[in-house]
Amino acid sequence: MSVKTLYNRLRQHGVHQIAFAGPFLSKVKRMTITRANTVILNVAAFILSVISLTARAAPDDRYLAGYAAAVLEARFGLPSRELQVENGKLRLHSADLQGQDTGEVLASLRAIDGLEVELVGTPTEAPSVSPSAKPAPLPSATLSETTGWLPRAQLFDPLIADPRWPRFSATLQFYQHDEELGTVGAPNFGAAIPFYGWRGLGIDWQAGLHAGVFSIFDLNSDSSDLINSDFFVALPISARYGPLSAQVRLFHQSSHLGDEFLLRNRVDRINLSYEGADLRLSVKPWNWLRFYAGGGGIFDAEPDLDPWMVQGGLEITSPDPIYSNLLYPIVALDVQSFEESDWGVNYSARAGVEFRSAWLAARRLQLVMEYFNGRSPNGQFYDRDVEYFGPGLHFYF
């Protein structure tokens, strides 16, 4: 029975004193419905908020699988493949590690939030790895893709001790037993930039650009005179398969003396310029050790120079930090020999620390002590023997 019907029947029976009952009951009914709606809406909002928080707290399995695959490929050189993650748990077979250090692989995957890892296929099954006991996160450089346009990670790592590898750096060099130079400042501006990466024949490939300006300044002069600048540009093609990588380049270099140096010294200026090509092969039997070797030749040189050169070296990069998951020891040696110098040997050695953190991503920042002995790497002085040492700060893109 509606409120209006009840109200009319009461009036028919002479009950006039409750004429206010109709409006009053209608108001009570509206208030009851409003409160009921409010309760229902509050409960629905609470349920949706719980669902939303739960969804945010549990990363998508596909995201975790891609994240883990990128770590295995970029840090350990393992071929890219699809990993199966179910409810945040990854089952990794020991045969898939291809001889890599099991503990280091698990520690790397442990840095991924929300991922549990179980190693199977060994006599003693490794326990699940809980994200609650993980170490400091790895730099995001290990998670960078190497394919597509402007990939963040390079297939061929920079040669740490090569004096002419493109990079941003500032070095203080103390020359030994040199008639003209004592304390030298060597700022360099350059980068090795991959433009495009792709995968073919089971091998990862990249094409890019190397460019750099290598200069030295005489800090003993009144105005810190510019002595020499070398301009370098190259077009590299890089490839990597597991622990093996290679790079071939076509390059151009020209060299120029500083005006102040020319004004104060009577020297024969050489318009040194040439094109060339080189090839280097690199292998990392372990993640912390790298060997490389290669060679190349120049052509269209001015003045006429003997063309051939060979190169080799090694790098040791500690997987363990010496301070707060930030500083990692590094040691590198580069050896080069040129036909132009009758195959005399140039030695370049560097030792120091490398900074690693998430904000550096795929970039490398190093503070090292340097030593060089051999024919000068500075173009205008290519026929002079030099020896120097000093501290340097190097930044690789």
Q: Please tell me the number of Cα atoms within 13 Å of 11 on its side-chain side.
A: 10
Which of these three, 135, 159, 192, is where a domain ends? Answer: 135
Copy the structure tokens of residue 217: 């300044």
- Residue 123 lies in domain: 61-135
The winner for highest mean pLDDT among 25-29, 82-86, 386-390 is 386-390
Q: What strands, in cross-sheet order, belong to the sheet with 85-86?
A: 85-86, 89-93, 116-120
Both 236 and 273 in one domain: the answer is yes
Is the pLDDT higher at 100 or at 236?
236
Both 97 and 151 in one domain: the answer is no
Copy the structure tokens of residue 171: 């070095």
Give pLDDT, residue 65.
Answer: 78
Question: Count of domains in the chain?
Answer: 3
Say if residue 394's pLDDT is above 80: yes
Q: What is the pLDDT of residues 335-353, one digit of tens each?
A: 999 999 999 999 999 999 9
Say if residue 265's pLDDT is above 80: no
Please give the single-letter amino acid code of residue 46.
Answer: F
Both 192 and 219 in one domain: the answer is yes
> Taken in order 169, 316, 72, 202, is the CA torsion positive or negative?
positive
Q: What is the DSSP letter of 26?
A: H
At residue 43, what are phi and psi to the nearest 5 degrees?
Answer: -65, -45
At residue 70, what are phi and psi to the nearest 5 degrees?
Answer: -65, -40
Is the pLDDT higher at 259 or at 16?
259
Both 50 and 163 in one domain: the answer is no
- Average of pLDDT values for 265-281? 87
Both 172 and 94 in one domain: the answer is no
- Average of pLDDT values for 12-38? 47
Say if residue 132's pLDDT is above 70: no
Both 118 and 201 in one domain: the answer is no
User: Among 152, 239, 228, 244, which residue's Cα sits nearest to residue 185?
Assistant: 228
Q: Give whole-number Cα distances, 33 to 20, 21, 23, 137, in Å.
A: 21, 18, 16, 54
Q: What is the pLDDT of residues 44-97, one digit of tens each?
A: 555 555 444 444 444 577 777 777 877 777 677 776 567 778 878 888 777 777
pTM, whole model, 2 decimals?
Answer: 0.65
Distance CA 292, CA 282 (A): 4
Is the pLDDT higher at 264 or at 246?
246
Residue pair 333/347 in contact (Cβ under 8 Å)? The answer is yes
Q: What is the pLDDT of residues 147-187, one digit of tens each?
A: 899 998 899 999 999 999 999 999 999 999 998 899 999 99
Q: Grade residue 142 by pLDDT with cuts at 50, 70 and 90.
A: very low
Please list, in sequence order, all residues whose beta carbon lies within 8 angstroms of the beta carbon of residue 331, skipping any fewer than 6 positions away: 315, 316, 350, 351
